[in-house]
């Protein structure tokens, strides 16, 4: 697609395009956190345990992570808007099935599997379409800001909205709510036309897709198995790491034989992108890990119901909203590396505050200052992390980078629930809560270290596309697109 075709869209048309894309990111992020306040209700209704609900939540996030890269690649074969709408339909079916589930097994099928698959199909097109329609650096940054901001707000507001629905109606109504939002998104998106034709003749790396998915699933399941057996957990994580290494060897072999791999190795060799991906993983790990830990602690240990728990999370939502509104001002005055560093410092302080404040007061509102600070920190850095990663490559690698970026973010979410949740479930009292928060503080420091290593004043980076495929339409890509815009 040429620049003239892109700019033919008016500001009003671009807003109409952005609205369903941002709303889709909102509802998928909402789904990742709203179940946290339903733990007691679901456990009693479906005759399961806190561990059972944790498994359902983690599997949902894990399915998204495992299928996000293949989902991004499928957009080339079948088209971005077609995959977007197909993902919405599968998600809606999963939500309805979850609402009617008679037991944990059906809930896992509907929520963890179908909603996870639907999300993996619809999210990559969100970021690819945004990249294609919003071509100017400033408008693209604003669009990514709106989408990532809605994702953060969805994850932060999930406990509140889910808590209100669960208490006033039932936890099942929360899934009906998701299905209704999906219908609204389908209506809003009906005028979005795919800017690049699909190419069903392009090859699809089945072996790479299987290896990447199996490797991620084994590794995260190993973390969750720590409660059962340390040796089993170690074995699963080691097996996952070996399968992921096999995935890397597979895609490298595909490239050497002149074939198109699931993921170009060129994407894995960009230092700025890799550091940005580490910050994304840490951000979502912190948000979802904190959300699950606090929600479980308040319900299981303190005995609060869904709406009481959800209301407390308004502090995080308020922090996210405030910092998201100030995001553009931060971007104009400070380079993005500085903004991300500041975000991790603020967020880590907030997590540490949750540990100190919870031990000093029986009131759940003692957690509000820490939750508010976490929201401020995350809102500050979500957008620049996405922009740094997506802007580190040209248009020819946008599809693959989008899939990898969403994979890493959702992997962070699943790891957050798996790691913090497993630590908490091992000892469901103040000690388990403290151990989970200490672990999350350590994760925040890792993210801070990655942000600190980001280069200063990032200059345009030339990407060699001589052996890289063009995942968003070979006809649309040109060697000149290998020069990435400086994040801004």
Whether the pLDDT of residue 464 is over 60: the answer is no
Residues 101 and 228 in one domain: no
Whether the pLDDT of residue 469 is over 70: the answer is no
**Residues 381 and 448: beta-carbon distance below 8 Å:** no
CA distance 242 to 254: 18
Of 218, 237, 262, the one marking the end of a domain is 262
Helices (DSSP H) in 8-49: which residue ranges? 11-33, 39-45
Q: Is residue 198 part of a domain?
A: no
Of 220, 243, 262, the one marking the end of a domain is 262
CA distance 298 to 24: 29
Q: What is the mean pLDDT of residues 275-304?
A: 87
Residues 174 and 214 in one domain: no
Burial of residue 10, with CB atoms counted within 10 A of its CB: 0-12 exposed, 13-18 middle, 19 or more buried: exposed
CATH number, position 420: 1.20.1250.20
Name the nearest CA neighbour of 287 among 329, 319, 335, 334.
Answer: 319
* 4-13, 209-218, 313-322: range with lowest mean pLDDT: 4-13
Whether the pLDDT of residue 400 is over 70: the answer is yes
Q: What is the number of domains present in the chain?
A: 2
Whether the pLDDT of residue 171 is over 80: the answer is yes
State the pLDDT at residue 296: 84
State the pLDDT at residue 429: 65
Tell which wins on pLDDT, 477 or 382: 382
Name the nearest CA neighbour of 141 among 7, 402, 316, 328.
Answer: 328
Q: Is residue 200 part of a domain?
A: no
Q: Is residue 392 part of a domain?
A: yes
Q: Is residue 481 part of a domain?
A: no
Q: Is residue 195 part of a domain?
A: no
Residues 229 and 86 in one domain: no
Percent of the chain with pLDDT over 90: 24
Instruction: Write the CA distances from 47 to 101, 102, 104, 426, integer angstroms.
Output: 12, 10, 8, 20
Whether the pLDDT of residue 90 is over 80: the answer is yes
Q: What is the mean pLDDT of residues 362-384?
A: 83
pLDDT band of residue 221 (cuts 50, 70, 90) is: confident
| Residues of the domain holding 112 | 8-190+263-461
Percent of the chain with pLDDT over 70: 87
State the pLDDT at residue 37: 83
State the pLDDT at residue 291: 85
Name the nearest CA neighbour of 148 among 301, 343, 423, 424.
Answer: 343
Q: Which residues pair with 483 in a beta bridge?
A: 462
Residues 23 and 90 in one domain: yes
Whether the pLDDT of residue 441 is over 60: the answer is yes
Q: What is the mean pLDDT of residues 246-252?
A: 92
Residues 229 and 361 in one domain: no
Residues 144 and 165 in one domain: yes
Name the nearest CA neighbour of 74 among 253, 197, 203, 195.
Answer: 203
Of 244, 262, 280, the one marking the end of a domain is 262
| The dihedral formed by the CA atoms of 389, 392, 396 and 402, expressed in degrees to the nearest 10 | 0
Q: Is residue 364 part of a domain?
A: yes
Residues 94 and 228 in one domain: no
CA distance 56 to 109: 9
Q: Is residue 480 part of a domain?
A: no
State the pLDDT at residue 483: 28
Tell which wins on pLDDT, 361 or 124: 124
State the pLDDT at residue 139: 76
State the pLDDT at residue 143: 82
Whether the pLDDT of residue 277 is over 70: the answer is yes
CA distance 481 to 478: 5
Residues 344 and 362 in one domain: yes
State the pLDDT at residue 360: 58
Residues 256 and 287 in one domain: no
pLDDT digits (tens, 9 = 90+) for 300-336: 777 787 787 888 888 888 888 888 777 667 766 778 8
pLDDT digits (tens, 9 = 90+) for 108-147: 999 999 999 999 898 888 888 887 887 776 777 778 778 8
pLDDT digits (tens, 9 = 90+) for 79-89: 888 899 999 99
Q: Is residue 2 part of a domain?
A: no
Residues 430 and 303 in one domain: yes
Residues 319 and 437 in one domain: yes
State the pLDDT at residue 488: 31
Whether the pLDDT of residue 486 is over 60: the answer is no
DSSP class of residue 202? S
Phi, psi of 192 (to 5 degrees): -80, 120
Residues 246 and 227 in one domain: yes
State the pLDDT at residue 457: 66
Whether the pLDDT of residue 261 is over 50: the answer is yes
State the pLDDT at residue 114: 95
The single residue listed with the structure tokens 């800017």 is 195
Q: What is the mean pLDDT of residues 220-248?
A: 86
pLDDT band of residue 385 (cuts 50, 70, 90) is: confident
């Amino acid at each position: 697609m040429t620049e003239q075709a892109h700019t033919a869209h008016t500001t009003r048309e671009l807003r109409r395009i952005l609205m369903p894309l941002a709303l889709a990111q909102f509802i998928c992020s909402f789904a990742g956190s709203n179940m946290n306040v339903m733990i007691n209700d679901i456990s009693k209704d479906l005759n399961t345990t806190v561990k059972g609900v944790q498994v359902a939540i983690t599997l949902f996030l894990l399915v998204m992570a495992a299928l996000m890269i293949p989902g991004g690649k499928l957009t080339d074969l079948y088209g971005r808007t077609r995959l977007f709408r197909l993902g919405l339909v599968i998600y809606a079916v999963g939500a309805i099935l979850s609402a009617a589930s008679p037991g944990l097994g059906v809930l896992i099928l509907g929520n963890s599997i179908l909603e996870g698959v639907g999300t993996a199909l619809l999210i990559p097109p969100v970021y690819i379409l945004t990249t294609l329609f919003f071509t100017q650096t400033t408008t693209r940054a604003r669009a990514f800001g709106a989408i990532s901001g809605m994702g953060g707000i969805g994850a932060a507001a999930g406990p509140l909205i889910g808590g209100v629905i669960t208490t006033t109606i039932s936890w099942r109504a929360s899934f009906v709510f998701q299905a209704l939002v999906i219908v609204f998104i389908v209506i809003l998106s009906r005028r979005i036309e795919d800017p690049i034709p699909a190419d069903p003749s392009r090859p699809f790396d089945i072996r790479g897709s299987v290896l990447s998915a199996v490797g991620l699933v084994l590794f995260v399941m190993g973390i969750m198995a720590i409660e059962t057996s340390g040796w089993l957990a170690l074995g699963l994580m080691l097996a996952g790491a070996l399968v992921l290494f096999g995935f890397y060897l597979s895609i490298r072999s595909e490239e050497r034989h002149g074939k198109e791999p699931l993921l170009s190795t060129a994407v894995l060799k960009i230092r700025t992108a890799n550091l940005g991906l580490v910050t994304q993983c840490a951000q979502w790990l912190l948000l979802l890990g904190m959300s699950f830990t606090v929600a479980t602690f308040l319900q299981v240990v303190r005995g609060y119901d869904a709406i009481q728990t959800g209301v407390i999370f308004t502090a995080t939502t308020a922090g996210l909203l405030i910092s998201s509104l100030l995001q553009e001002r931060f971007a104009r005055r400070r380079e993005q590396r500085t903004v991300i560093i500041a975000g991790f410092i603020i967020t880590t302080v907030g997590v540490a505050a949750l540990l100190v404040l919870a031990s000093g007061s029986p009131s759940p509102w003692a957690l509000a200052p820490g939750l508010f600070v976490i929201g401020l920190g995350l809102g500050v850095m979500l957008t620049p992390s996405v922009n740094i990663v997506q802007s580190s490559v040209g248009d020819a690698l946008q599809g693959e980078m989008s899939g990898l970026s969403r994979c890493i973010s959702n992997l962070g979410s699943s790891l957050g629930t798996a790691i913090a949740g497993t630590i908490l479930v091992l000892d469901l009292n103040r000690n388990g809560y403290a151990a989970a928060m200490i672990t999350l503080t350590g994760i925040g420091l890792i993210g801070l270290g990655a942000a600190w290593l980001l280069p200063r004043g990032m200059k345009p980076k030339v990407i060699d596309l001589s052996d890289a495929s063009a995942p968003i339409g070979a006809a649309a890509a040109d060697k000149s697109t290998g020069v990435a815009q400086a994040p801004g």
